[in-house]
Amino acid sequence: MAQPQCISGLAGKLVTELNVNCGANDFYTIFKQHVDVPKAIPHIYKCVKVIEGDGTTSGCIKEWGYRYEGKELIVKEKTTYTDETRTICHCVVGGDLGNEYKKFYAILVVNPKPCGNGSIVSWTVGYEKINKDSPIPIPYIALQQSAMSHHGISILSGKLTTESHVDCDANRFYQIYKQHVDVPKAIPHIFRYVKVVEGDGTTSGCVKEWGFHCDGKELYAKESTTYTDETKTICHSVIEGDLMNVYKRFNGTLMVKVKPIGYGSIVSWTVDYELINKNSPVPFEYVTMFSRVIEGLDSYLCASG
């Protein structure tokens, strides 16, 4: 039976995780009680008001006024609280986000650090774009990262993940990256070249050098690669290149999963990083690049049949 025509998926997920100095209960409570959030970070949130319910019980609806990329916007959201796991889910039901997204939700999870003081805070943004021209909402995850940073970053490491639903078969997507030579041909606007420096290029422990475009700059990275065929996972650990001017550690992990229902796959890139100092930028531009890599390779593989 013929499959539907291949088009890039419109649904995806973004995750940011950060270590902060604030205690887990304190961080969770300020967002649950909500009234002090605009006071704490007025450069991000202008106001918050309860539309339905008491504002601290699951099912309540709140409206937030916030600043985003120089614009003043509003969002109306239905909130679910899970105190046991310090989890808050904000499901958008109205406001400016509806102009770009059919579905948009943000989940806050706060966990105590296993050792020492402070907590590990993550925000997950799940979305479905209205159409292909709608942007991947990476600036929104950057907005939440800025909100977390207000509480004091305890260490300079963190994680960022972008995940997209694509139409391409999972094995084909995994193999084009493992075999690597066709990647610059498929997306030359992102990757200029790739060459093997050590090993055969398809076995764990090999070292490859990539030339790429990011944020208007021509850069290169030399990385040691680990392949796990069983889970369709490739880990690129950067050991040399332009990234080392800004980061003590920079690992990019690709994971490809078969969709549980229907055709296609779910592709994610996770960037695990450690900044050299507090002035080093959080690598959002690289997450944007990896999101475009997913879209570009999906389009190429679908077009090639």
236 is a catalytic site residue: yes
Six token digits for residue 218:
């021509």
Q: Which residue has the tokens 């030359």?
A: 188
From the list 90, 151, 180, 236, the catalytic residue is 236
In Å, how far are 202, 225, 240, 258 from 196, measured between CA atoms?
Answer: 9, 11, 14, 29
Report residue 161 CA to chain centroid gap: 3
215, 196 in Cβ contact below 8 A? no
Other CB atoms within 10 A of residue 271 CB: 23
205, 224 in Cβ contact below 8 A? yes
265, 258 in Cβ contact below 8 A? yes
Side chain identity at 40, as an amino acid letter? Answer: A
In Å, how far are 29, 109, 301 from 63, measured between CA atoms?
Answer: 18, 20, 42
Tally of CA atoms within 13 A in the half-sphere of 97 that contains its CB: 30
Q: Which residue has the tokens 């690129």?
A: 236
Sign, Cα dihedral of 137, 141, 146, 150: positive
Catalytic residues: 236
